[in-house]
């Protein structure tokens, strides 16, 4: 989407997409997952440097990540690069773009591998010291 169209777009808002390949009778449904951290130009492999002294404002495109319903995609698969009309219901209140949409369980990144790695180390140190003193 163009940057001047994103003022009210938030995660969790409803989305409808019509793709030219299937005609206007086929509508995909989904929701906004989030907005990219910057424009495509900023994260490009070779971003352009337009520091030439002219001050022409160029409207940039900001990627919007949308999750579509799986059953609709299976019925009529999409291909990258297809022309589409996207409608986002910005009347619906979404979540802040700063809040993550995923939660991590408390036990997700826990391991007991290192809980007992130092068991018996004191005895081992004392044995080494005793052997070196004798």
Which residues have CB under 8 Å from 113's CB, separation 6+? none
Q: Where are the beta strands (DSSP E) in the chain?
A: 14-19, 27-35, 64-68, 84-88
Residue 88 pLDDT exceeds 70: yes
Assess whether pLDDT exceeds 70 at residue 100.
no
User: H or E element: which one contains 75?
Assistant: helix 70-75
Rounded (5°) CA angle 112-118-120:
125
The per-residue pLDDT for 23 is 86
Class of residue 113 by CB neighbours under 10 A (exposed 0-12, middle 13-18, buried 19+):
exposed
Residue 50: what pLDDT? 60
* Band (2; pLDDT cuts 50, 70, 90): low
29 and 66 Cβ atoms separated by less than 8 Å: no
Examine the pLDDT at 48 and tell me if it is beyond 70: no
CA distance 123 to 129: 10
């Amino acid at each position: 989407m163009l940057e001047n169209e994103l003022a009210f777009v938030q995660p969790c808002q409803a989305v409808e997409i019509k793709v030219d390949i299937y005609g206007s009778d086929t509508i995909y449904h989904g929701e906004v997952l989030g907005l990219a951290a910057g424009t495509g130009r900023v994260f490009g492999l070779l971003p352009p440097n337009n520091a030439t002294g002219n001050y022409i404002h160029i409207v940039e495109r900001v990627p919007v990540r949308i999750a579509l319903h799986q059953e609709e995609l299976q019925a009529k698969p999409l291909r990258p690069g297809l022309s589409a009309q996207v409608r986002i219901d910005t009347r619906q209140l979404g979540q802040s773009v700063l809040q993550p949409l995923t939660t991590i369980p408390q036990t997700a990144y826990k391991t007991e591998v290192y809980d007992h790695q130092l068991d018996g180390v004191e005895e081992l140190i004392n044995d080494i010291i005793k052997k070196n003193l004798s």
